[in-house]
Amino acid sequence: MEVTIGPDGTISLTAEMLAHLRTRPGEKLSVFLTADHRLELAPPAKAPGEKLLQTMLGRTAKP
């Protein structure tokens, strides 16, 4: 796939690219610069939810 760099330096990702990254318009991406002059895009790591953290800490909701 190819993208075009706009006059202001921006690129637009297609809906297919966004779906592949599991992200939506307006969300941030992590960008990695490689030694061979390439960019790698990745969705940022999402923090675990509150319920998962409570379970991991052995805390349960009070009835």
pLDDT (tens digit per residue) in 14-63: 999 999 988 888 888 989 999 999 999 988 777 667 777 778 788 665 55
Q: Residue 7: which pLDDT band, with cuts at 50, 70 and 90?
A: very high
Cα 44 to Cα 49: distance, rounded to the nearest angstrom: 15
Query: In this predicted structure, what is the pLDDT of residue 63?
Result: 53
Alpha helices in 1-63 (DSSP H): 15-20, 50-56
Q: What are the residue ranges spanned by the domains of the chain?
A: 1-63
Prediction pTM value: 0.60
The yes-or-no verdict on residue 8 having pLDDT over 60 is yes
Q: Which CATH class is domain 1-63?
A: mainly beta
